[in-house]
């Protein structure tokens, strides 16, 4: 990061190869219900942003938290753009504006992955972000708080609610 | 371990689940779990949810990172520009439908046509005469001695050329040399960088071969790209049909649609074709778009409309905040998406959206240009020309002149309205040098229109000018070809 901050671009490739898969997986999971989200493109934007704001990076926290925070914000931006497009073209571009919709309820015929996606779709975006940062990236509460710039209490509140919802669905599925 | 830590109360559950306990406290809490079913059940339930979500995420089809993307990121960062690798909506497996040249796999293997050492014999005759379709910073040079054509893009940009029904695009910082095979096929030698190919159905005895260092790629299908990386490594990406890649020792393997082969440096890997590469291939081969041809204005617009990064970082607004309706990026983002629809063949959808947009922004030049492109692709040539005339009316000097050329091409090639085409081309050629990058091509077109209108003398004069002023170019070659027959 020090080399990047000095304007050297070569380490960007190494950073991408080291962390690209993790970023891509997080972004893809956050945007799973956004049609045409193109997580791979968002992932590349994340690393170009890392390069651009590297001089502002302070080694006071964990790099991974900082990186995942950028990834979440880039994913939000992509979601917003998609939302705007759908709003503008509502009724004119049915195919493109069709959003991912969870099934009406748990269904025995649903694949396990679909059941999880259906459950995730019932979370708010904020709840989903903290859940994915924890479950997929393995970040601790403090790291999530640092990544998102929110308090530890806010992390706990969102996580707790997310788990409650996910578990309700799990109970419904198995019950 | 002291007594305090031998058993922890249940209120440490939150810190435990958030990973906030130190080693000692964590051990103590886990000891507490042994005797506390409530905490144990809660921890287990959290674990099940986390595992399920993690497993779901891991099972999703996400492309792997690749050294090639890493290299491009470094390149983009070094040049300080917007990411060229960010692309429109496109599935690599839908390319065939968008390609006017897509054809059934021709199944032409040229191994039996090659020399014993596997090298492809190139012949100085006959001459390769590619037609320039579009250029952004590239050029075609013809070598009368060897019969070769060199397609070069020195800096950033691309060059798209047509040879019969084949299309060949050369990317930034790339060079490819084209020659005829003795058997009548086409040989593309990739000196450096990347070439994308959209090959028509191959006739027996008319193969197409791309030589990249010591590796050779034979065309069996229709649409692929070859990237020559450092050393002797290559990446072959196939978005339609299939190709055969041959080692220096003669061993070979097929790469089929939707697959990508990385070869060299002791590694050989076939993976799913990444969106990035498929889109790059597709963009290289795309028909020219007016707004792509004015990089200076576009770059300025990008800068003016770009969301400040600091704002992005600080942004914690709700995602579906209706307040962002008035964001200045709305307009640009929309058109970018609509452009993607046009390029992916969603023409009705794009046209509807553009008409809606133009009702609110009737003088939006980019939207008019996209609408004209959309209608042209849909075969609605009359309305397309009307759209280009709006660009001529509302656009900048450069935009207007480019629209004149494209409108004239449509009138001439699709509608046989040579008089109107000639008027537009004359207007194009009257503009200053900097506004007519396709001057030689416009002169040849104008001459053809004049010949159709019986203005033979003027046409011949114009064609001779092309031969004199642009020697060695594809336009000069075309001019010479027309002259003796008239």
How confident is the model over B319-373, as pLDDT tens digits?
232 222 233 334 444 687 787 777 777 788 788 888 888 887 888 888 898 899 8
Q: Do B53 and A13 touch (CB under 8 A)?
A: no
Percent of chain A with pLDDT over 70: 76
Closest CA to A52 of B418, B195, B32, B307: B307
Specify whether domain B92-283 bears CATH 2.60.120.1440: yes
Tell me the mean pLDDT in the region B152-159. 84
Question: Sorting pLDDT into bands at 50, 70 and 90, what band is B24?
Answer: confident
Chains A, B: CB contacts within 8 A come to: 192
Residue B126: cis peptide before it, omega within 30 degrees of 0: yes
Tell me what pLDDT residue B352 has. 81
**pLDDT for residue B374 is more than 90:** no
* CB < 8 Å from B in window 9-38 of A: 9-10, 12-14, 16-17, 20-21, 24-25, 28-29, 32, 36, 38
Tell whether the model's pLDDT for residue A132 goes beyond 90: yes
| pLDDT at residue B288 in the model | 52
Tokens linked to A108: 């025995």
All residues at 6 or more sequence positions from B201 whose CB lies less than 8 Å from its CB, including other chains: B103, B104, B106, B222
The residue that leads in pLDDT, A74 or A95, is: A74
Please determine, for residue B289, whether its predicted confidence score (pLDDT) is greater than 60.
Answer: no
> Please, are residues A144 and B31 in contact by the beta-carbon 8 Å criterion?
no
Of residues B430 and B256, more confidence is placed in B430
- ipTM of predicted assembly, 2 dp: 0.86
With contacts defined as CB-CB under 8 Å, which chain A residues touch B17?
Answer: 141, 159
Which residues of B fall within a CB distance of 8 Å from A95?
346, 349
Q: Going by DSSP bridges, is the β-strand pair B223-228/B242-246 parallel, antiparallel, or unpaired? A: unpaired
Task: Tell me: pLDDT of B6 over 70.
Answer: no
**B73 and A155: CB-CB below 8 Å?**
no
Given pLDDT bands bounded at 50, 70 and 90, which one contains residue B222?
low
The encoded tokens of residue A123 equal 């979370």
**What is the distance of C-alpha B414 from the center of its chain?**
25
CA B173 – CA B116 distance, rounded (Å): 33
Confidence of residue B187 (pLDDT cuts 50, 70, 90): confident
Q: For residue B307, give how far its alpha carbon lies from the nearest alpha carbon of chain A (Å).
A: 10
Segment of B113-117, B388-392, B448-452 carrying the highest mean pLDDT: B388-392
Closest Cα in chain B, distance from residue A35 (Å): 9
- Average pLDDT for residues A19-23, to the nearest whole number? 91
Q: Which residues of A touch B274 (CB under 8 A)?
A: 40
Question: Quick one: pLDDT at residue A56?
Answer: 73
3-state class of B337 per DSSP?
Answer: helix
Band of residue B471 on the pLDDT scale cut at 50, 70, 90: confident
In chain B, residues with a C-beta closer than 8 Å to the C-beta of A76 are 315, 319
Model confidence at A53, pLDDT cuts 50, 70, 90, reads: confident
- pLDDT at B134 exceeding the cut of 90: no
B160 forms beta bridges with B134, B169
Mean model confidence pLDDT for chain B:
71
| Residue A99 predicted with pLDDT over 90 | no
Q: How far is CA B71 from CA A85, B33, B75, B232, B256, in A?
A: 32, 50, 6, 16, 25
> What single-letter DSSP state applies at residue B92?
G
Q: Which domains occur in chain A, in start order?
A: 1-100 (1.10.1740.10), 101-175 (1.10.10.10)
Burial per residue of B112-143, b for 16 or more beta-carbon CB atoms within 10 angstroms, e otherwise? ebbeeebebebeeeeebbbbbbbbbebbbebe
B421-434 tens-digit pLDDT: 999 999 999 988 77
Mean per-residue pLDDT, B253-274: 78
Average the pLDDT over each of A30-34, A127-131, B109-113, B369-373 and give the range with the smallest value.
B109-113
Tell me whether residue B443 is exposed, middle or buried, using C-beta atoms within 10 angstroms of its C-beta: 0 to 12, 13 to 18, 19 or more: buried
Residues with Cβ within 8 Å of residue B451, at least 6 apart in sequence: B459, B482, B486
Q: What is the DSSP string of A53-112?
A: HGGG--TTS-HHHHHHHHHHHHHHHHHHHHHHHHHHTTTT-HHHHPPP---SS--TTS-H
Q: How confident is the model at residue B231 (pLDDT cuts 50, 70, 90)?
A: low
CATH 3.90.1150.10 fits B287-306+329-437, yes or no: no
Average pLDDT over residues B243-262: 78
Chain A residues in contact with B346 by the CB 8 A cut-off are: 95-96
Spell out the domain ranges in chain B: 3-47, 92-283, 287-306+329-437
Res B46 pLDDT > 50: yes
For chain A, positions 78-107, list CB contacts with chain B under 8 A.
Answer: 79-81, 83-85, 87-89, 92-93, 95-96
Q: Look at residue B244 in the predicted model and tell me its pLDDT.
A: 77
For residue A71, the model assigns a pLDDT of: 93
B212, with CB counted inside 10 A (0-12, 13-18, 19+), is buried
What's the rounded mean pLDDT across residues A41-62? 81
pLDDT classification of A97: cutoffs 50, 70, 90: very low
Q: Are B297 and B366 in contact (CB under 8 A)?
A: no
**Which pair of tokens denotes residue B64?**
């792997």
Q: What is the pLDDT of residue B485?
A: 53
Report the pLDDT value the prediction gives residue B324, as an integer from 0 to 100.
Answer: 26
* The two three-digit tokens of residue B303, written as one number: 């800068």
DSSP string, B399-455: HHHHHHHHHHHHHHHTS--HHHHHHHHHHHHHS-GGG-TTHHHHHHHHHHHHHHTT-
Count CB atoms within 10 A of the CB of residue A119. Answer: 24
| CA of B271 vs chain A CAs: smallest distance (Å) | 15
CA–CA distance, B406 with B395 (Å, rounded to integer): 14
User: For residue A77, which residues of chain B lie inside 8 Å, CB to CB?
Assistant: 307, 312, 315
Structure tokens at B121: 């014999």
If pLDDT is split at 50, 70 and 90, which confidence band does B313 have? very low
Confidence of residue B306 (pLDDT cuts 50, 70, 90): very low
Longest dimension (CA), chain A: 58
Instruction: Work out the minimum CA distance from B357 to partner chain A, whole angstroms.
Output: 9
Find which of B305, B319, B355 to mutate to test the A interface (most A CBs within 10 Å of its CB): B319
Chain B contact set for A25 (CB, 8 A): 57-58, 60, 62
- Residue A96 to residue B74, Cβ atoms within 8 A: no
Beta bridge partners, B195, equal B170, B226
pLDDT in the model for residue B436: 79
pLDDT at A143: 92
Q: Which residues pair with B188 in a beta bridge?
A: B178, B210
B313 with A28: Cβ contact below 8 A: no
Where residue B201 falls among pLDDT bands split at 50, 70, 90?
low
d(CA A9, CA B73): 9
Whether pLDDT at A15 is above 50: yes
């Amino acid at each position: 990061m020090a080399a990047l901050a000095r304007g050297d671009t070569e380490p960007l490739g190494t950073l991408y190869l080291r962390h690209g898969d993790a970023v891509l997986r997080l972004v893809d999971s956050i945007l799973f219900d956004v049609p045409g989200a193109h997580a791979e493109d968002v992932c590349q934007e994340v690393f170009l942003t890392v390069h651009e704001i590297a001089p502002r990076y302070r080694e006071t926290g964990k790099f991974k938290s900082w990186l995942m925070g950028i990834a979440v914000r880039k994913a939000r931006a992509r979601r917003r753009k998609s939302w705007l497009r759908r709003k503008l073209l509502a009724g004119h571009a049915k195919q493109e504006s069709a959003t991912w919709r969870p099934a009406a309820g748990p269904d025995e015929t649903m694949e396990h992955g679909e059941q999880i996606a259906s459950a995730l779709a019932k979370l708010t975006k904020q709840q989903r972000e903290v859940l994915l940062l924890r479950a997929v990236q393995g970040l601790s509460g403090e790291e999530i708080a640092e990544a998102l710039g929110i308090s530890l209490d806010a992390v706990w509140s969102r996580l707790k609610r997310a788990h409650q919802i996910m578990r309700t669905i799990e109970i419904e599925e198995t019950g | 371990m002291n007594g305090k830590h031998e058993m922890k109360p249940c209120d440490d559950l939150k810190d435990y689940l958030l990973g906030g306990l130190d080693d000692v406290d964590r051990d103590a809490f886990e000891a507490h779990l042994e005797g506390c079913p409530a905490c144990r059940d809660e921890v287990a339930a959290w674990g099940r949810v986390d595992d399920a979500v993690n497993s779901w995420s891991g099972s999703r089809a996400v492309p792997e990172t690749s050294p090639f993307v890493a290299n491009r990121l470094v390149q983009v960062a070094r040049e300080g520009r917007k990411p060229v690798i960010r692309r429109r909506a496109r599935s690599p497996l839908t390319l065939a439908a968008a390609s006017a040249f897509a054809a059934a796999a021709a199944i032409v293997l040229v191994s039996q046509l090659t020399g014993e050492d596997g090298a492809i014999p190139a012949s100085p005759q006959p001459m390769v005469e590619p037609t320039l379709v579009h250029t952004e910073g590239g050029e075609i040079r013809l070598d009368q001695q060897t019969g070769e054509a060199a397609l070069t893009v020195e800096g950033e940009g691309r060059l798209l050329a047509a040879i019969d029904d084949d299309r060949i695009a050369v990317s930034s910082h790339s060079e490819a040399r084209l020659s005829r095979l003795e058997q009548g096929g086409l040989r593309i030698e990739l000196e450096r960088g990347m070439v994308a190919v959209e090959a028509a159905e191959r006739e027996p005895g008319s193969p197409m071969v791309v030589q990249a260092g010591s590796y050779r790629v034979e065309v069996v299908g229709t649409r692929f790209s070859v990237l020559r990386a450092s050393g002797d490594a290559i990446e072959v990406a196939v978005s339609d049909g299939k190709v055969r890649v041959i080692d220096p020792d003669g061993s070979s393997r097929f790469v089929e649609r939707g697959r990508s082969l990385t070869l060299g440096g002791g590694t050989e890997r076939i993976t799913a074709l990444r969106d990035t590469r498929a889109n790059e291939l597709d963009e290289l081969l795309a028909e020219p778009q007016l707004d792509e041809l004015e990089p200076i204005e576009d770059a300025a617009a990008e800068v003016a409309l770009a969301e400040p990064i600091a704002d992005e970082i600080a942004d914690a607004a709700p995602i579906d905040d209706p307040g962002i309706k008035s964001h200045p990026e709305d307009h640009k983002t929309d058109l970018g998406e609509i452009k993607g629809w046009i390029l992916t063949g969603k023409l009705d959808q794009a046209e509807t959206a553009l008409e809606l947009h133009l009702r609110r922004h009737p003088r939006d030049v980019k939207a008019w240009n996209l609408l004209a492109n959309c209608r042209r692709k849909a075969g609605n040539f009359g309305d397309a020309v009307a759209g280009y005339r709006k660009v001529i009316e509302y656009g900048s000097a450069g935009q207007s002149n480019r629209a004149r050329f494209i409108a004239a091409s449509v009138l001439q090639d699709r509608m046989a309205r040579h008089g109107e085409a000639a008027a537009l081309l004359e207007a194009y050629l009257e503009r200053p040098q900097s506004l007519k990058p396709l001057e030689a091509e416009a002169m040849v077109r104008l001459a053809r229109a004049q010949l159709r209108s019986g203005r033979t003398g003027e046409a011949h004069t114009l064609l001779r000018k092309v031969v004199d002023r642009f020697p060695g170019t594809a336009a000069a070659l075309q001019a010479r070809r027309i002259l003796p027959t008239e």
